Structures are given as structure tokens and as C-alpha cells.
């Protein structure tokens, strides 16, 4: 047992347990400090909800985790290494869905899904893409231009990205916006499946989101 600790085994196992580690993170927007000294870690199978009032820095936190914004202070580690060092390796393991759907009005749902998955580095064949869209409740809408779909259906097209690809970390900014009750249930199911496969998810929402059998950890920004 002693040798374990001497060889640093204890530390290694801890690093694998906590895949995403945030230490002492601070975020500044303009002259305004949104938060500082923020530390938390997230391991396989864990779900974290970021809470806070409008303007408390939820989106800024998620965007910092994605590397769009540089943190004013603090570090973000993935599997024990700084995400800036990891760069593309980190991006291959994460997926971010923000307020914007990142879909094109001129393309149909199928084209949108295949292209956005392709831009994220994975080639998805038509069968796989159709299966994902049908799972998201878009049966018979696959070949319609996205501009004729409703807001909720567009959101479903964007969320179907989660079903293709094998990202371990999901970062979801208000994923439930514009979704109906059925789709919210489906999202809970999808997050549950993702966590049970050893994935992890961070999300913000103003709606209740309960995943069966998983305790949602809360992070309050004030």
C-alpha cells in the first residue's frame, strides 16, 4: 500500500477518476468580474448543473471550458493535463452545443447533421445520421429544408449531434430551449445513456431536468 503512494499511484488513479478538473478559475468580462476562485471536478458518469441568475456567468463558464475565452486566472485540466496543451486532443473528446443551433437554413436536416458531424471530425454515413434524426423525433422531416421546421425541431436537429460521435464530455448551454415535454424526456434519457457509458455532462437550464438513477451535482454562480 505504501509503495502505491510513493509511486504516485494514488494520484494517478485520482486523475482518472476526475477527468475534468477546474482549479481556481476566474472569469472577467469587460471590467466586470463574473466569478473567481471557482474549483470543481467531474468524473466519469457524473452530471453537473450550473445554476445562477441571468448574467451570473453560466455561459461564460461553459465558453471558457471550451477554450473560446481565456480564463483570467486558474487552470482547466482534462485527464491530468492542461487543455491548452492538449488542444485538438481535448476537442476530440468534447462536444459543445450553445445557444446557437449551428445549422444552416438552406440545408435539410440530414445534410446539416452529416456536415456538422464532419466538421467535428467524424464522417457519419447516411444510415447512421437517419437513425439519429429519427431517434430525435424527426421522422419524415429528414429531407425538409431546416427553414421550414419549427424552433423546437431545429433544436432537435442540433441536439442530434450528440447521438453521432463519441465525445465523452458534453457541454450543453440551455439544451432544453424550445423543446416540448416529449423532447425534454428524450434528452433526459439520452443524458442518462451517455452517463451510464462513462460519459460526463455539464449543462445549464432554467427548467427542471432529472436523470433517472443519477444525482445531479449543482454548481451555483452568484
Partner 1 sequence: MNRLSLFGLLGLVIRRDLLLAMRRRADVLTTLVFFVMVVSLFPLGVGPEPEMLRKMAAGVVWVAALLASMLSLARMFSADYLDGTLEQMLLAPQSLSVLVLGKIVAHWMLSGLPLVLIAPVLGLQFGMSFQGLWVLVLVLLLGTPILSMIGAIGAALTLGLRGGGVLVSLLVLPLCIPVLIFGTGAVDAVNTGMTFIPHVALLGAMFLLSLVFAPWVTAQALRISME
Query: Measured from the CB atom, is 107 or 214 closer to partner 1?
Result: 107
Q: Which of 14, 72, 79, 104 binds partner 1 (CB under 8 A)?
A: 104
**Does residue number 121 form part of the binding site for partner 1 (CB under 8 A)?**
yes
Least separation in angstroms between CB 92 and partner 1:
4
Q: Which of 5, 73, 102, 148 binds partner 1 (CB under 8 A)?
A: 102
- Applying CB under 8 A, which part among 34-42, 161-169, 176-184, 200-208 lies near partner 1? 161-169
* β 32-43/169-173 pair status: unpaired
Contacts of 195 (CB under 8 A, 6+ apart): 45, 46, 47, 201, 211, 214
List, as own/partner pairs, every contact residues 120-126 make where C-beta atoms lie below 8 angstroms and the sequence separation is at least 24, other chains included.
120/95, 120/161, 120/165, 121/92, 122/164, 122/165, 122/166, 124/164, 124/165
**Does residue number 131 form part of the binding site for partner 1 (CB under 8 A)?**
no
Contacts of 25 (CB under 8 A, 6+ apart): 35, 36, 37, 38, 39, 61, 64, 71, 73, 74, 75, 76
Least separation in angstroms between CB 87 and partner 1:
9
**Does residue number 165 form part of the binding site for partner 1 (CB under 8 A)?**
yes
Q: Rounded distance, CA 34 to CA 61, Å?
A: 9
- Applying CB under 8 A, which part among 77-85, 115-123, 187-195, 208-216 lies near partner 1? 115-123
Q: How many CA atoms lie within 13 A of 33 on its CB side?
A: 8
**Does residue number 178 form part of the binding site for partner 1 (CB under 8 A)?**
no
Q: Which of 1, 6, 123, 181 binds partner 1 (CB under 8 A)?
A: 123
- Applying CB under 8 A, which part among 49-57, 76-84, 94-102, 198-206 lies near partner 1? 94-102
Amino acid at each position: 500500500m505504501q509503495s502505491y503512494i510513493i509511486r504516485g499511484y494514488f494520484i494517478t488513479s485520482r486523475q482518472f477518476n476526475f477527468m475534468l478538473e477546474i482549479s481556481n478559475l476566474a472569469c472577467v468580462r469587460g471590467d466586470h468580474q463574473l466569478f473567481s476562485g471557482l474549483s470543481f471536478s467531474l468524473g466519469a458518469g457524473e452530471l453537473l448543473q450550473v445554476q445562477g441568475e441571468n448574467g451570473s456567468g453560466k455561459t461564460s463558464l461553459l465558453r471558457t471550458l471550451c477554450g473560446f475565452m481565456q480564463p483570467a486566472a486558474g487552470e482547466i485540466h482534462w485527464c491530468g493535463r492542461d487543455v491548452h496543451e492538449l488542444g485538438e486532443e481535448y476537442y476530440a473528446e468534447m462536444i459543445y452545443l450553445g445557444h446557437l443551433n449551428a445549422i444552416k437554413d438552406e440545408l435539410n436536416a440530414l445534410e446539416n447533421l452529416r456536415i456538422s458531424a464532419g466538421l467535428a471530425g467524424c464522417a457519419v454515413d447516411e444510415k447512421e445520421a437517419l437513425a439519429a434524426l429519427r431517434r430525435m423525433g424527426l421522422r419524415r422531416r429528414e429531407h425538409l429544408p431546416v427553414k421550414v421546421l419549427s424552433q423546437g425541431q431545429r433544436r432537435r436537429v442540433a441536439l442530434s449531434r450528440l447521438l453521432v460521435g463519441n465525445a465523452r464530455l458534453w457541454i450543453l448551454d440551455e439544451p432544453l430551449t424550445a423543446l416540448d415535454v416529449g423532447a425534454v424526456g428524450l434528452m433526459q434519457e439520452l443524458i442518462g445513456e451517455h452517463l451510464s457509458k462513462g460519459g460526463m455532462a455539464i449543462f445549464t437550464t432554467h427548467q427542471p431536468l432529472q436523470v433517472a438513477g443519477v444525482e445531479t451535482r449543482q454548481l451555483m454562480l452568484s
